Structure 1
């Protein structure tokens, strides 16, 4: 049965949720993992949604098994982060989106969806764009996040959640950042945090360690990236539309 089970009671007002399903460059996962670690966020709830892989995860130094998708909260900053340790099969994306969408409606939170747009790396900083549903465009305007410079689409579980927000007229934003199509990209995740998440959520997040520890992050995330490649599944990503319009 689809449900969100609370692990720790926390007091939240009108929280911003940052979604971190693995995708291109693992930018969403790296960004949300960093937010959770830097802000010392509390393990708030476990996610039990139809369509998620039926696996359990465990952590070094902790004997307690838990779900592969979890929610963390920071009451002081009115912030919630979705951490996922597994990719989601595209065929199950709509089920996961429906499960989480119902919870979004119950809690009244404002979701920020994250996706990477595969681009070969160069000397220029990765570009960041924003899309919105409902009145989410107001948040993008306040944060001065630019509109996309080309047409495109967002796929995977992130795309399914944006589509569900559009269908149900939920206020939400999607942040799209240019990222390495082959390897984890902490630089792109840093851009997401500094110029997207922080100004939208009203937070201040130290990010120097992201780039300084790029090698360590790449090694730690490489196994997940390889798992996604071998499965040949479409992860959450943005991509240009190659067609007449």
Structure 2
């Protein structure tokens, strides 16, 4: 049975932003979400229970507690929510996952920020960030000065399903598409998402020095999940990809 089990009833929000951190190309969404949760020491606000989520339990070092693999963290002072996931969602389950979350999203009256990696081989140039949106959220991207995509493309996986749900139901949603390493966790792309995306869209100033200083450590810590995504028989990751005409 699909449900969002709120744990911290004492937290209240006023039309918050929600940053989605599902594993995808370069793990940019997950790295950015984990960084927000750790930096602001956010409160474990809710557990997400959907049929599409693998039935596994998560435990942490120096903690005997057991947790659900997909959770929501909250910071009432910053009017911020973060969707944190320790597991990928399979493509076949993406629609159910979107249905499971979106009704609650609508009840809370939040604006989601969905993050997708656009596979690009690494070079000396910093990753480019593009913004897409549904409903009135497109104007948020204009106000934030975030560029429109340089080419036609699509977003797949659970993030694509969530954006599709927003289009179908005329909900406001922002999509951030960032060039990302297609093979390895990409803290630099996550830094660009935070500095040029999340900071620009909100009144929040998220420091990112730690993402740069600990880039190698972060890559190593996330490598096992990245390998699981690469080895999956079906592509379980959210990603953006170009749709070039006349191929």
TM-score normalised per structure 2? 0.97
**Residues 102-140 of structure 1, C-alpha deviation per residue, up to 9 Å, x if partnerless?**
111110000000000000011111000000001111110
Does the 8 A contact of 1:79 with 1:201 survive in 2? no
Instruction: Write the distance in 1 (CA, Å) between the matches of 2:234 and 2:147.
Output: 30
Deviation sequence 1:37-81 (CA, Å, 0-9, x none): 001110000000121101111111211111100000011100000
SS of alignment partner, residue 112 of structure 2:
strand
- Paired with 2:44 and 2:62, the residues of 1 have a C-alpha distance of 16
- Determine the C-alpha separation between the residues in 2 that align with 1:49 and 1:102: 12
Q: Per-residue deviation at 1:162?
A: 0.3
Give secondary structure in 1 for the equivalent of 2:206.
coil
Aligned to 1:221: 222
CA distance in 2 between counterparts of 1:154 and 1:165 reads 13
Q: Deviations over 1:127-185 (max 9, x none)?
A: 00000001111110111101000000000000000000000000111000001000000
Rounded Cα–Cα distance in structure 2 between residues aligned with 1:20 and 1:125: 21
Cα displacement (A) at 1:33: 0.3
Which residue is 1:174 aligned to?
175
Give the whole-Å Cα distance in 2 for the aligned partners of 1:60 and 1:201. Answer: 33
Give aligned pairs, total. Answer: 245
How big is the shift at 1:213? 0.6
What whole-Å deviation, never above 9, does each CA across 1:213-233 have from its counterpart, x for those lacking one? 111001100010111112133
Structure-1 residue corresponding to 2:102: 101
Instruction: Give the corresponding residue for 1:63.
Output: 64
The runs of 4+ residues in structure 1 deviating greater than 2 Å are 242-245
Matched, 1:236 2:242: no
Query: Which secondary structure state, in structure 2, belongs to the residue aligned with residue 146 of structure 1?
Result: coil
Structure 2 unpaired stretches of 5+: none
Aligned to 1:30: 31
What is aligned with 1:186? 187
Could you say which residue in structure 1 is the equivalent of 2:2?
2
Work out the CA distance in 2 between the residues paired with 1:191 and 1:16.
18
Residue 20 (structure 2) aligns with? 19
SS of the counterpart of 2:244?
Answer: coil
Aligned equivalent of 2:208:
207
Q: Distance in 2 between matches of 1:12 and 1:135?
A: 20
Check whether the contact 1:120–1:180 (CA below 8 A) recurs between aligned residues.
Answer: yes
